Amino acid sequence: MASPSIITLTSPGSPAALAPQTDSFYGLTREALEAWCTLHGFSRVHAKTLFRSAYKALNPEPWSAPSLPRACAALLPLSLSSAPLRLVAEQRSGYDHSLKFLVGLAGGREVEAVLMPETKRLTLCLSSQVGCAQGCVFCHTGRMGLIRQLSTDEIVGQVLLAERWIAAHPEWLQQVRLPASTRISNIVFMGMGEPLDNVDAVIAALRILSDPFGLALGLSHISVSTAGHLDGIERLYAALPKARLALSVHSTDDAQRSRIMPINKRWPLTEVVDRLRTILGGEGPPVLLQYTLIRGVNDRLEDAEQLARLSQGLNAKINLIPLNVVGPSRLSAPSPEAIKAFRDLLCSHGLRVMVRYSKGQDIAAACGQLVRDANSQSGSSSSGET
């Protein structure tokens, strides 16, 4: 039964109603923490102190901050849980220094988070669900179905787990040639799950992660990936108009996209993009269009023309991702020449295009492969990402 201090962040009847109501410190936005302080007779200003202590100082007992009243410090751990997520295993890539964390959740399930160092930034890829209801045919997570939503504190907890790991392993930052003071600079919701099918928990997590008194990651540094969940897109932008979206396109052909991404039957790509044009316009926050290039499937120049047409009227950036094949497959990436021709055609339309290769290929950390190894070892099914 819920204690009087439990603060509800989800709407009844929403997909996120599958998520537990929160009695976790790390599930509370600063506004919710202010409400907790007021409810218990303390000044709301203490919420800022608690946020600094928890997220800037990474204090595992945030209430031990010296400026907090003793009564508040005594009540908080009795009223709100703050248990960290469990690091079950870590795996380092010898290929590009990506680092995969296998993260244990309450109830025995596991998800993955992947840390990806680059020249001037450190990106963490997060999971938002255990499994996924969307069933994209190329995705291991999709084969699991939706097992459960992650709560806000489980999403935020992945960031804290990674931040604490970095703080405890200064030699890793040296190894990847990043300054000793480096902290996570970017977040992508591209781990297990369709984040916008868990939109309430994700919105609360975005508020916490971007809070200026906490980690202060600007919304422009956090990318929410979606297969095209239109309800979630509308709710995300209604709550956070400056949010950044990464839309997985993969095919501009309606019939083909419906075959590989069943969500397209409910929300066809053209309908999703039309709505984005209305919400954002050409001057709004950038939208990243993700396009996995597969030889002989979607790599023709006429596919590039279609993609260019789709991008019109949006502040679009395009990520071309040559298919990352792990194990035997009849599918493959196009030749370097074909990738270049595809990219050049998009560029000729004035579009911003990047060709990106999946990171952590040797540790199965790339799109659609998260947790697969761990689950196959434990006999359960496999996983992936949006």
Residues that bind ligand SF4 (CB under 6 A): 132, 134-136, 139, 141-142, 193-194, 227, 384-386
Q: Which is nearer to ligand SF4, 266 or 340 (CB)?
A: 266
Catalytic residue among 37, 72, 139, 367: 367
Decide whether 134 or 210 has the Cβ nearer to ligand SF4: 134
72 is catalytic: no
Q: Nearest residue by C-beta to ligand SF4?
A: 142
User: In the bound complex, what is the minimum distance in angstroms from residue 344's beta carbon to ligand SF4?
Assistant: 28
Rounded Cα distance, 28 and 352, in Å:
37
Nearer to ligand SF4, 21 or 319 (CB): 319
Is 367 a residue of the active site? yes
Q: Which listed residue (112, 154, 163, 385) is catalytic?
A: 112
Q: How far is the CB of 170 from ligand SF4 (least distance, A)?
A: 34
Q: How far is the CB of 380 from ligand SF4 (least distance, A)?
A: 16
In terms of CB distance, is 153 or 385 closer to ligand SF4?
385
Is-contact 219 240, C-beta < 8 A?
A: yes
**DSSP annotation string for 126-188:** ---EEE-SS--TT-HHHHH-EEEEPPHHHHHHHHHHHHHHHHH-HHHHHHTT--TT----EEE
Say which residue the tokens 């988070």 belong to. Answer: 113
**DSSP bridge partners of 354:** 319
Nearer to ligand SF4, 29 or 129 (CB): 129
* Cβ atoms 96, 359 nearer than 8 A: yes
Bridge partners, 91 (sequence order): 100
| Smallest gap from residue 150 Cβ to ligand SF4 (A) | 13
Q: DSSP letter for 333, please.
A: P
* Beta bridge pairs of residue 130: 148
Sheet strands side by side (includes 110-117): 86-92, 99-104, 110-117, 122-125, 186-189, 222-226, 244-248, 287-293, 316-322, 352-355
CB 294 within 8 A of CB 336: no
Q: How far is the CB of 149 from ligand SF4 (least distance, A)?
A: 13
- Phi, psi values for residue 279, rounded to 5°: -70, -45
Give the active site residues: 112, 367
